[in-house]
Amino acid sequence: MATARFFSLPDSIKQLSDSGALSSDPTHYACRDPDAPSDVDPTLEGQIPTIDLSVLTQGDPARRSQMVRQLGRACEEWGFFVVVNHGVPETVREAMLAAAQGFFDLEEEEKAEHSGKHVMDPIRYGTSFNSKVDDVGYWRDYFKIVVHPAFHSPAKPLGFREALGQYAACTRVVGMELLRGMWESLELDEDYMNNALDLDACFQVCAVNLYPPCPQPELAMGLPPHSDHSLLTLLHQNGVDGLQVKHGSKWVHVKPPPNSFLVNTGDQMEIVTNGRYKSVLHRAVINGRSTRMSIATVVAPSLDTVVEPVAQLVSPERPAMYRGVRYREYLEHQQRNKLWEKSALDHLRV
């Protein structure tokens, strides 16, 4: 049951930050101990796996086979990797960032037209994570748009629909190629997996996050540690870093190379692979100087698919670790409740 909050959130963090009236964080955004020892290990930055998508799609059989194995190791050991040579034109990526900035620059009244009343609304604008249940505020504005199987887009700003349409189509291709490689790395039949998860009708969302400068970034968070509800998520950002992923017991600050995507595996991948490929915990930290913007593209099963461990990865030695669940129900549960680590997935453990 949700606990009551005793604070109100602003219309947007952008409005709060742009006002210039803040010299310190409002009390309800203070969720970190500034005196706690650092849990980030800088020595791990250089160990983040890199996947060359062109080798998966165009490489000779020997190189492709090697890259499939690398992809499998990245999923098994990290749940996170960098994708280069992905084939998405930089003009498409930059146009999407510009369009997203254009949306956030609209008047608050115009953006508020998309304030979500339900977690499954096809276009949803808001602040923090779920303002109805958050017991602290997160230094983040967002809007989430369902782009597949049905395509949605706000009418404003001008050109947004075209930029989003191109970006969504391109990232869906990248996501499907990565899934193809993941199935192959587990010796699973591609057609079988596509049918089992109904990927022709995959659920795809573009979630755009805005993290404005914060007067006391050491006290607040952009987003707390959490895993994604997806099969996989592709992330593109505006050149300002802030993503951290957990590897072992330490956190890693991610500094992506130019023209790359950051990819993490999600909870549906952990369920369907029976824990072979685990969803990775990640969080968003903020800074006091620059606005960070990121575009997370979620690729997931169709909403009506019942996701369960695939039979080929269940055995007497490794019995099913999760109960099956309809993806729509999982998504609604995760989005309705507080965002914290793997709390949604924990409900399904056998």
pLDDT digits (tens, 9 = 90+) for 20-74: 888 888 888 988 999 999 999 999 999 999 999 999 999 899 999 999 999 999 9
* pTM for the structure as a whole: 0.94
Would you tell me how many other CB atoms lie within 10 Å of the CB of residue 311?
11
DSSP one-letter code for 349: B
CA angle 10, 14, 16 (to 5 degrees): 50
- With bands split at pLDDT 50, 70 and 90, how would you rate the model's confidence at 339? confident
pLDDT the model gives residue 8: 59
Write out pLDDT tens, residues 143-174.
999 999 999 999 999 999 999 999 999 999 99
Helix (H) or strand (E) segment spanning residue 246 = strand 243-247
Q: Is the pLDDT of residue 6 over 70?
A: no
In sequence order, which residues have a C-beta less than 8 Å from that of residue 258 and are 6 or more positions away? none
pLDDT the model gives residue 4: 40
The SS3 of residue 112 is helix
CA angle 108, 144, 240 (to 5 degrees): 80
Write out pLDDT tens, residues 233-291.
999 999 999 999 999 999 999 999 999 999 999 999 999 999 999 999 999 999 999 99
In sequence order, which residues have a C-beta less than 8 Å from that of residue 196 and are 6 or more positions away? 272, 305, 310
For the chain, the average pLDDT equals: 94
Cis peptide before 157 (omega within 30 of 0): yes
Percent of the chain exceeding pLDDT 90 equals 85
Sheet containing 223-226: give its strands across: 223-226, 282-284, 243-247, 250-253
Q: Where are the alpha helices (DSSP H) in 197-299?
A: 267-272
